[in-house]
Amino acid sequence: MAPSMQAVWITRLVMSWIAWDLTGSSAYVGLLSFFLFVPYITTIPFFGVLLDRIEPLRTAIIAQIIQALAAFTIFLMHITDSLSIFSLCTVAVIIGTANSAQGSARQTIVPRIVDKPTIANAVAFNAMNFQIARIIGPSVGGILIGLIGTKYTILFSSFFFLPALITLPMIVLTPKQGESIKKESNFISELVDGARFAHRNAVIFECIVLTFISSVIIRGCHELLPALADGKFNMGVEGLGQIMAAAGAGALISSFLIASRKKTYNDNGIPMIARISLILGLLFVTILGYVDNWYLAILAAFISGACVTNVAIDMQSTVQMQLTDTYRARVASLWLATAIGGSGLGSILNGIFSDVFGITETFIFVGLIGVLAVILTQAWLHTKNREIGV
């Protein structure tokens, strides 16, 4: 699925650049990101219930087809001069919905092709594949936009979704472990049951809360890198490719280090390194907003990208270690909805703040607010868990 990962990042880069080129507004770039990610909030929990009932491979294949068609639709709108921020946001919702289905399927597929002791490694390797695409995709996309323009770059991207249609049917999954959901059972009640399980499990609940903070602030600010690269530093599309690749490089190194850990079997709670990475990532968002030197901004993007990836992988693997296949798709999808949906929420809020107060002030402020939110959340959860004897 590596080519399709490249296509995801190239498509997102092209859409973000078109939105910035059409409007010159951070808020509209954030709005586009919001529509890319809002389906993760609204649809992914339902995909989670569905995937606890059915095999996930067919869902992943259909999602690839939809994303290819959506990218090709942007190309058609481009050549017919019908592109607008409204049409981009409409296509973004379709792509986001397909991505949410694919993300839910991936959350179910990965633990069913490895043994439990190696789940954390598998999650890390899957993330590393994603981060390689995050490095190469924006860089290639930026170069292609400079050479052939957004029109033919998005056409190029649409064809990159197709190889997965050959490789996905080759995957062999292990049988489900645990009690399966009966297809005639109530859909909503199963969704609520999964949410209750996540809330009752202190480790999973903490993972979801901390992931939300990380996604809204760190990833939400990373979604505004087009506005930062061109609006603050005047570096153009080449600068956008550089700073996104820097964030991706940090994420790749973080993924590789996690995948290389000798001891990854951890079902006793969130690793301390994840908590430290969250604080550091938030602080480097503040630094990213504060610095006026382009190379220091690239360094801050690199470190914050490494930190937010470490948080995401450790939280995801910790959640997976708490689950059996009975609840896996539902609960893992709730975590993913928080992780990805939080990015969309953060992008639109931070985009609005950037247009009102300035992007420098926004990055500085939200990074510090995030550190305070983590401290207060940890204190609250510690008190809550002590009261219930956890």
pLDDT of residue 216: 93
Q: pLDDT tens for residues 89-139?
A: 999 999 988 887 887 777 777 767 767 666 667 766 776 676 566 667 777
Q: Does the structure show a pLDDT above 90 at 372?
A: yes
pLDDT the model gives residue 162: 84
pLDDT digits (tens, 9 = 90+) for 16-41: 888 888 888 877 887 887 788 777 77
The structural domains of the chain, with segments of one domain joined by +, span 2-161+187-387
* Long-range CB contact pairs, 14-17, < 8 A, 24+: 14/74, 14/141, 14/145, 14/150, 14/153, 14/154, 14/157, 15/74, 15/88, 15/91, 15/92, 16/223, 16/226, 17/145, 17/150, 17/226, 17/237, 17/240
Does residue 390 carry a pLDDT above 60? no
> Average of pLDDT values for 315-338?
78
Q: Using 50, 70 and 90 to split pLDDT, how confident is the model at 217? A: very high
What separation in angstroms does the CA of 311 have from each of 34, 90, 177, 315?
Answer: 21, 31, 28, 6
**Percentage of residues of the chain with pLDDT beyond 70:** 85
Residue 279 vs residues 18, 285, 307: alpha-carbon distances, Å: 33, 10, 9
Question: What are φ and ψ of residue 43, in 5° steps?
Answer: -115, -30
What number is the average pLDDT over the span 199-204?
A: 86
Q: Which of 75, 247, 80, 87 is nearest to 144 (CA)?
A: 75
Give the chain's mean pLDDT.
81
Helices 294-321 and 119-159: angle between axes, nearest 10 degrees: 120
We find that the CATH architecture of domain 2-161+187-387 is Up-down Bundle (1.20)
- Find the range with the poorest average confidence among 163-177, 240-254, 343-357: 163-177
pLDDT of the residue at 241: 77
Q: Which residue has the higher pLDDT, 71 or 133?
A: 71
* pLDDT for the residue numbered 277: 95
Q: Cα–Cα distance between 114 and 320 in angstroms, integer? A: 12
User: Which one, of 309, 297, 381, lies nearest residue 343 by Cα?
Assistant: 309
Residue 175's pLDDT band (cuts 50, 70, 90): low
Residue 166 pLDDT more than 90?
Answer: no
Per residue, what are the HEC states of the chain? CHHHHHHHHHHHHHHHHHHHHHHCCHHHHHHHHHHHHHHHHHCHHHHHHHHCCCCCHHHHHHHHHHHHHHHHHHHHHHHCCCCCHHHHHHHHHHHHHHHHHHHHHHHHHHHHCCCHHHHHHHHHHHHHHHHHHHHHHHHHHHHHHHHHHHHHHHHHHHHCCCCHHHHHHHCCCCCCCCCCCCCCCCHHHHHHHHHHHHHHCHHHHHHHHHHHHHHHHHHHHHCCHHHHHHHHCCCHHHHHHHHHHHHHHHHHHHHHHHHCCCCCCCCCCCCHHHHHHHHHHHHHHHHHHHCCCHHHHHHHHHHHHHHHHHHHHHHHHHHHHCCCCCCHHHHHHHHHHHHHHHHHHHHHHHHHHHHHHCHHHHHHHHHHHHHHHHHHHHHHHHHHHHHCCC
Nearest-CA neighbor of 338 among 245, 211, 248, 238?
A: 211
Q: What percent of the chain has pLDDT over 90?
A: 20
Whether the pTM exceeds 0.85: the reply is no
Determine the Cα–Cα distance for residues 59 and 61; give it in Å rounded to an integer.
Answer: 5
pLDDT of residue 32: 85
Identity of the amino acid at 275:
R
